[in-house]
Structure 1
Amino acid sequence: MAMDTSLTLHFLLPTLLFFSFSFFLLLKHKKPKSPPLPPGPTPWPLVGNLPHIFFNKPAFRWILALMKHMNTDIACIRLGRVPVIAVTCPDIAREFLRTHDAIFASRPRTMGTEYSGRGFINVTSSPLGEQWKKMRRVVASELMTRPRLNWLAPKRVEEADNFVRYLYEHCRRDGCGGAVVDVREAARQYSGNVIRKMMFNRRYFGLGRDDGGPGFEEIEHVEALFRVVSFEYSFAVADYLTWLRWLDLDGHEKEMKKAIGVVNKYHEPLIDERIRKWRWGSDGRVKKEPEDLLDLMILVEDADGKPLLTSEEIKALAADLIIATVDNPPNAAEWAIAEMLNQPHILQRAVEEIDRVVGKERLVQESDLPQLNYIKACAREAFRIHPVAPFNLPHMSTSDAIVAGYFIPKGSQVLLSRTGLGRNPKVWHNPLLFKPERHLTSESAQVELLEPNLRFISFSTGRRGCMGAPLGSTMTVMLLARLLQGFTWTVPEGKPPGIDLTESTNDLFLAKPLHAHASPRLPSHVYPAAP
């Protein structure tokens, strides 16, 4: 009996070992190794790479320098426990926002967007969900449609005329030879005037100025809007270590509260009063026609004929649209003029196109813009080299994904580098050279400011793409065209030849606002007269 047991064990043991080893090989073959995370710096326990961000400001310059040092087009920087994925390659960017758009269609909740979105009820920065879908439907079907933009065109033209009149009066006041203009301030106030007119049907919050220029209120309003933009997504420590928010270690929350307080100070009384008039009929307004975007938001109804938007949602959406409109056009125009002053042949060609298409006996109108291909190419080139922000608004993944052969975990934040894409030497020849001709593919092809292939970012694409791209494009090209048509621009007398194109350390604006000499170049009767 003992011998039988010994023989049985002698036979079974090798058999068991054989099958165990075969099963192990089978499992190993069926379960391939998971793709790695994108390359990146070694994170610290608990805090990840937040110390690098905190002590290497601005964060965007550190991230791009790191990626260049690592020779990678995609990187993973861990901030707290959040993987932040930075991208500088158009092919990878398209994989995120086209192939896997549904997965990356949400937004992270940040301290800044909590303030600007009134608790995440707006459209631009709200996370994926029913609230975002509701607000997106309102914008797409009620506010930013082509008929609505056409309906609002007279307000935009009025402000473009006001802008030219203001610059003309400024030149005349300083003498017939022209005057030095702060192009940044003038362009930003143009954008502020346009969106205030479209939203509230008014140019000024206060009395304004007789020459069409901004008053204290308008200057404060626009400055606050730019502050809000800079702190919506600012790598605040509290966005990644929420239990430290009460300390406000980097001071971002204090700055954001101050800036959004200024915005609300001007917006809220107007919105509250308008809601009372429309919904309670305090002045019989319910019998009148809507005049602006605010009226449309108040009047939009649900399936039961009841107001669709609450007062809080109206305030959030109004601020959202104003903030999204005010920054891109003036930044592109300021950089384009600066680059043109350093390359006079580009400036001459742009002016010649306007004179050929429009002439000198009337001002450029929106109907002329489709024919101004070279002007649009100049604006497009400004967007490419000199974007208004280092990254696009972050996209957050709602599930695990494999992108460009790398594992992207659920909850990751994806940042497309605007400078990394637009200045990528693998995509653009001599990428730092301002060369509008690179966007002119043929004489018959229309130049568009939108770049769907993400070789640079003017207006984003995909589910979270900018629904106001047609408006932003129109405002940008109109601003640049009116500047070039109405005035001759030169470097101010007594200044070094050429414009210093150095970027600011902490952002992508010119380090010093562009001051250029402007002199009228059209007959005096063409310039708009004071109302």
Structure 2
Amino acid sequence: MLDFTAVLAFIICSLLLALTTKRKKSKKTVSVTSYTRKLPLPPGPKSWPLIGNLPEILGRNKPVFRWIHSLMKELNTDIACIRLANTHVIPVTSPRLAREILKKQDSVFATRPLTMGTEYCSRGYLTVAVEPLGEQWKKMRRVVASHVTSKKSLMSTLQKITEEADDLVRYINNRGNGNGFGVIDLRLAVRQYSGNVARKMMFGVRHFGKGSEDGSGPGFEEIEHVESLFTVLTHLYAFALSDYVPWLRFLDLEGHEKVVSGAMRNVSKYNDPFVDERLMQWRNGKLKEPQDFLDMFIMAKDADGRPTLSEEEIKAQVTELMLATVDNPSNAAEWAMAEMINEPRIMQKAVEEIDMVVGKDRLVLESDLPNLNYVKACVKEAFRLHPVAPFNLPHMSTADAVVDGYFIPKGSHMLISRMGIGRNPSVWDKPLKFDPERYLGNNIGVELDETELNIISFSTGRRGCMGANIGWPMTCVLLARLIQGFTWSPVAGESKIDMSESNNDLFMAKPLHAVAKPRLAPHVYPT
């Protein structure tokens, strides 16, 4: 049975939609051929009049993404249609259909839907990733492409990645408590590595406060900052009722808005003072040369020599880039380490490759990655089997379209399933098995090639992630350092790592804790 909140939402939704039905029916569909009108919608569950499948997502089918994938498996389809009020939600679990949407018809599906979560994280749609198609998106895309993804910026970022990888190794080594063995909270360690890289890229600092008491790890401020970023990420597209029935938003029936707004306040209380102070330093002539992405955003000029970005746009874009930095590398590294600890044969192969390519007298650098194909294959396999989110950021159709012989109405939300494609048995042999060797065997080095979209981590097309050339080496260096620096084993009393997936998302159900023993000479470790 539905709970009281769901029943209330159901009743209010029915009344409000009934009042607006006549007006919506009076609007005519444009640019639709008679042939297209006759095509069926993709298969999906039976829906209620007016409200569609809202009762299903308000009831016991939580989390919604698991219900959607279960439904598609039951229907034996790679494309489905779930109607939520007046919105057609179209999930896709096939690389062939993903290529149709993200490549062949990219121009039709290049915009984003408006949601409560994305409004908060972008300060009212001021950024590049979640901004709907338009002049604001074009402007922010130009700025990010010029100042974040340029070759010069990439070299500076790789240096920061190396610095934070050094700090990560030092942090783990210091947890040995004098006996060489330390139980490491790897989720905390890898998420703070990602958070440190993000803060270094944006602000040139590792910590907002003093760090931990011994100075070797994160303090309360850094932990709260990263946890708040992850809270925002998990609620960006959470199938909130108000995203499909905007009139109900003021009620916040599911509490999503309260959670997102609170998390964004936490992020802003750390980020905004840095932006305010830096703006003042530039205005007072105290700074001359840009040192990080924040400086680059402040100094960006338009054709007339005026600042390109407003203060609000700078703050919004800084936050969005942090959101884009912290999740994928840390999640992939945590899952990969868990899989490899449980499969010593895989771990040993990675160790042997690093020892052969790099040796034991220095730590892995980004420049070693071209020769570390087995390690990169482990990262790629983690991206495939354990994506950080079930779906890519949604695309929305700007016109009526046809995909795989089905009618896709204008305004449909297209959900490309990372989870569905990466675990699709028609694409992958033994899809639930962690097997990095599936990418080896040819004479071509292992790279994050998503051209065929058999794996979707950073996506493609005009709305693909602009930071793939940062995220890929950031993840590979992270995993390589963990493997090279330490011998890993389950904590005392456990023979295997629990590989259970969280009920509510795709993270590990329990944060990964493991015992780390240094495997290199003491002088190799940063001090």
- Check if 1:234 corresponds to 2:233: no
Q: What is the rounded CA distance, in whole Å, between the counterparts of 1:314 and 1:365 in structure 2?
A: 32
Residues in 1 aligned to 2:522 and 2:251: alpha-carbon distance in whole angstroms: 59
Alpha-carbon separation, structure 2, partners of 1:419 and 1:372: 26
After TM superposition, give the deviation of residue 381 of structure 1 in Å. Answer: 0.2
Aligned to 2:350: 350
Residue 157 of structure 1 and its aligned partner are, at CA, apart by 1.5
The equivalent of 1:433 in structure 2 is: 433
- Counterpart position of 1:476: 475
Using the TM superposition, give the Cα deviation of residue 154 of structure 1 relative to its aligned residue in structure 2, in angstroms.
2.4
CA distance in 2, matches of 1:145, 1:54: 44
Match runs of 1:24-43 below 5 Å: 34-43=38-47
Q: Deviations over 1:100-149 (max 9, x none)?
A: 00000000000000000000011110000010010011111221122211
Aligned partners of 2:160 and 2:35: how far apart in 1? 63
Give me the whole-angstrom Cα distance separating, in 2, the residues matched to 1:399 and 1:86: 18
Q: Which residue of 1 aligns with 2:120?
A: 115
Please give the root-mean-square deviation of Cα atoms over the aligned residues, in Å: 1.3
The equivalent residue for 1:11 is none
Q: 2:188 matched to 1:185?
A: yes
Q: Which amino acid aligns with 2:51?
A: V
Counterpart code for 1:445 = I
Question: Is the alpha carbon distance of 1:32 and 1:371 closer, same or farther for their aligned partners in structure 2, counting shifts above 3 Å?
Answer: closer
Bigger mean CA deviation after superposition, 147-156 or 326-335: 147-156
2:25: which partner in 1? none
Which residue in 1 is equivalent to 2:522? Answer: 524
1:277 offset after TM fit, Å?
A: 1.2
Match of 2:249 in 1: 245
Q: Which residue of 2 aligns with 1:24?
A: none
> Which residue of structure 2 lines up, in the alignment, with residue 464 of structure 1?
463
Tell me, which stretches of 5 or more residues in structure 2 are unaligned? 1-33
Confirm or deny: 8 A CA contact 2:399 2:410 kept in the other structure. yes
Deviations 1:285-317 (CA, angstroms, capped at 9, x unpaired): 24x211111000000100011110000110111
Residue 506 of structure 1 is aligned with which of 489, 504, 507? 504
Q: Secondary structure at the match of 2:38?
A: coil
1:416 correspondence with 2:419: no
* Aligned-partner Cα distance in 2 for 1:139–1:438: 35
Distance 1:167 1:31, change over 3 A: closer
Pairwise CA distance, 1:46: 2.1
* Aligned amino acid, residue 256 of structure 1: V
Structure 2 CA distance, aligned partners of 1:518 and 1:345?
A: 18
How far does residue 32 in structure 1 lie from its aligned partner after superposition? 8.1
Change (3 A) 1:361 1:250: same
Aligned to 1:51: 55
Length-normalised TM-score, structure 2:
0.92
Corresponding residue SS for 2:130: coil
- Candidates 200, 204, 223, aligned match of 2:203: 200
Deviations 1:385-413, CA, capped at 9 Å, x for gaps = 00000111000010011111111010000
> Does the 8 A contact of 2:203 with 2:292 survive in 1?
yes
- What residue number does 1:275 align with? 279
Q: Secondary structure at the match of 2:80?
A: strand
Aligned residue in 2 for 1:158 = 163
| Partners of 1:156 and 1:198 within 8 A in 2 | no
Distance 2:101 2:41 in 1: 15
> How big is each residue's C-alpha offset from its partner over 1:325-383, in whole Å with a ceiling of 9 and x where there is no partner?
10000100010011111111000000111101110100111111111111000000001
CA distance in 2, matches of 1:31, 1:405: 11
Aligned partner of residue 515 in structure 2, secondary structure: strand
Which structure 1 residue ranges, 5 or more long, are not aligned? Answer: 1-29
Quick one: distance in 2 between partners of 1:109 and 1:315? 20
Matches of 2:269 and 2:49 in 1, distance apart? 43
Report the equivalent of 1:385: 385
Contact 1:423 1:431 in 2 (8 A): yes
Map 1:480-495 to 2 at 5 A.
480-495=479-494
| Structure (1 or 2) with the larger CA radius of gyration | 1
Provide the TM-score with structure 1 as the length reference: 0.91
CA contact 1:165–1:211 (8 Å) conserved in 2: no
Which amino acid is the alignment partner of residue 520 of structure 1? P
Counterpart CA distance in 1 for 2:218 and 2:347 is 28
The whole-number CA distance in structure 2 between the counterparts of 1:512 and 1:91 is: 34
Amino acid at match of 2:499: L
Q: Once the 2 structures are TM-superposed, how far is the Cα of residue 494 of structure 1 from its aligned partner? A: 1.4
Q: Counterparts of 1:332-351 in structure 2 under 5 Å?
A: 332-351=332-351
Q: State the match for 2:152 in structure 1.
A: 147
Q: Give the aligned partner of residue 94 of structure 2.
A: 89
1:13 corresponds in structure 2 to none
**Matched letter for residue 161 of structure 2:** R
1:36 corresponds to which letter in structure 2? Answer: P
Partner of 1:20: none
- What is the DSSP-based 3-state SS (H/G/I as helix, E as strand, rest coil) of the residue aligned with 2:479? helix
* d(CA) in 2 for partners of 1:147, 1:368: 20
Deviations 1:62-86 (A, max 9, x none): 0011111111110000111000000
Matched, 1:64 2:86: no
Following superposition, the deviation at residue 33 of structure 1 comes to: 6.6
> What is the count of residue pairs matched by the alignment?
493
Secondary structure at 1:78 match in 2: strand
Are the aligned partners of 2:37 and 2:407 in contact in 1 as well (CA < 8 Å)? Answer: no
Give % identity: 62
Is the contact made by 1:379 and 1:449 (CA closer than 8 Å) also made in structure 2? Answer: no
1:500-524 Cα offsets, whole Å, 9 max, x none, are 2110000011111111110100100
User: Which string of whole-angstrom CA distances, capped at 9 and with x for unpartnered residues, describes residues 140-193 of structure 1?
Assistant: 12211222110233222211111111111112x2x3241111111100000000
Partner Cα separation in structure 2 for residue 108 and residue 475 of structure 1: 30
Give the Cα separation in 1 of the matches to 2:93 and 2:490.
35
The answer to whether the 8 Å contact 1:180/1:518 transfers is: yes
